[in-house]
A and B are shown apart, each in its own frame.
Chain A
Amino acid sequence: MPLRTEELLLNMGPQHPSTHGVLRLVVTLDGENITDVRPDIGYLHSSVEKMMEHRTYVQNVALTDRGMDYLIALNNEAAYCLAVEALAGVEVPERGRYLRVIFQELNRIASHLVWLGTWGIDLGATTLFLWCFRERERELDLFEQVTGGRLHHVYFRIGGVYADVPDGWAGACRDFLEYFLPHIDEYHQLLTQNPIFEARTRGVGVIGRREAVAMGASGPVARASGIAYDVRKAVPYEVYDRLGFDVPVQASGDCFARYLVRLEEMRQSVRIIRQALKDLPAGEFRARVPVAMKPPRGEVYVRTESPRGTLGMYVVSDGGESPYRVKIRAPSFSNLYALTEIMRGWKIADIIAILGSIDIVLSDVDR
């Protein structure tokens, strides 16, 4: 007599220690094999796009920190400020642009550190979490000295940055980079050779090159699948065209490749910050922009490279004090879509590894 088997419907989340927020995955299981995954999003929908229509252009900078991806507050601010500057035709002074680049790259390192630490916990490497946050705290001290905030900064303004860096900050930043670089090697020593880590990530959750393009994946997820696309290289904004850096690419498209790409990105960020600190020009850091600014009627779409992928900002102005419409192209949202396709066929324990390697932030998915 054949054994009667049934498909099992399993709810993962919204409260689950490994879903990185409030994602709910409705998983259909055949034994231990995944036959279908349907993500249920919207548990953190904060209607930030609608709120932006009710606030002035200057006030919205504070909202981009919180309403969008909270780990990369400064990258969000940069995308928004770039969009409004393009709309209003504001020219940012050189020093302001360099400072923006430095802080965006610092935030990229901070974001990748959180990703590495939490993914480490998911895969059972608790040490990594403690180490990543140790480095991150030192970095947040650097942020705090300049912006006054640890996570939410409201440092970028339309037309530049809020304040200049204090005396001696550049030296402190160089010290941090000196301190931080050897730690990337330590992460490699801990994880890259580790047989357990390799078994859980190598060859798991493969996204092919074609699939990645078809599903709109971007950022490290796409670069791990062999697509050498980086907005900083393709459509340079700020001063990225003057700084030398490489775009790390891996061909295999599995979790391990995504891990390697992100570690290498941190190294490249360090390289960018060093160059920018060296070239940092003196002078003005902020253009004069009225508080009640009214950009002319029009619309603009700006792309930036956030740590999760292509972050797009579409702003429409009707000539008033607040934007007529703001639409955010969230990188996590597209990457999450790619996730549902690649999970099919894997075991249930791999969900955690794959989900963590995509690096979604639910605030970015839901907005």
Chain B
Amino acid sequence: MSAAERVIRGAAALGTGLGLTFRTMLRRKVTVRYPVEKLPTSHRFHGLLSLPIDPETGKDRCIICFQCERICPDRCIHIEAEGKGKERQLSRFDIEMDKCCYCGLCVEVCPTEAIVFVPHYETSTYNRARLLYSHDDLNRAAPKEPIATGIVARRRP
């Protein structure tokens, strides 16, 4: 291949690439301006684990069967119960959210759908100890720290 031919071929290829890039520039933008606008998560999204309160009974649906504690591959669920028979109730239901790998095995084995995923992912924290979610936190299914806005706070509509 002669030098001139190479130059022509190179220029043609460069033109094709740049033309494509310019055409893409005119297409619809894909960027999501995150803190201001948020993408909807799917209803199956593995966000935060929670024990939602049943509005009929005013309590969560946990029947203390220890299945989630047993299946958890990370051993991050800790359940303790006291009392016997019908009096039995939870004295401890903690999930170490920093150890959790969000695999969903606990949700799968739960016979009463007491433990579920909530599509909430904004859970970063300054202190690792706050990632230990107690029974109350899991019932509330809310983050322990307020959601950050950073320097984009003023741009919020």
Contact = CB atoms under 8 A, between A and B. Distances in A.
B127 interface: no
Interface string B87-120: 0000000000000011111001100000001000
Contacts of A258: none
A137 B44 contact: no
Given A148-B117, A152-B102, A152-B103, A189 B16 contact: yes
A193 B17 CA distance: 9
Contact of B73 (A59, A189, A194, A291): A59
Given A148-B117, A189-B16, A190-B20, A59 B105 contact: yes
A154 interface: yes
B17 A190 contact: yes
Interface stretch (A37-45, A105-113, A139-147): A139-147
Given A59-B73, A186-B20, A195-B9, A137 B108 contact: no
B105 A62 contact: yes
Interface residues of B, number: 29
B101 A62 contact: yes
Contact of A189 (B6, B20, B42, B101): B20
The residue among A55, A148, A162, A186 with the most chain B CB atoms within 10 A of its own CB is A148
Given A66-B101, A134-B30, A58 B44 contact: no
A7 to B, nearest CB: 36
B10 interface: yes
Interface string B51-83: 000000000000000010001110000000000
Contacts, number: 69
B128 to A, nearest CB: 20
A194 B17 contact: yes
A141 B28 CA distance: 18
A239 interface: no
Contact of A58 (B14, B41, B46, B71): B71
A213 B67 CA distance: 48
Interface in A142-169: 144-149, 152, 154, 162-163, 166
B2 interface: no
Nearest to A55: B73
A131 B21 CA distance: 10
Contacts of A127: 21
Interface residues of A, number: 32
Nearest to A143: B42
The residue among B13, B41, B102 with the most chain A CB atoms within 10 A of its own CB is B13
Interface of A: 55, 58-63, 65-66, 127, 131, 134, 137, 141, 144-149, 152, 154, 162-163, 166, 186, 189-190, 193-195, 291
Interface of B: 6, 9-10, 12-14, 16-17, 20-21, 24, 30, 41-42, 44-46, 67, 71-73, 101-105, 108-109, 117
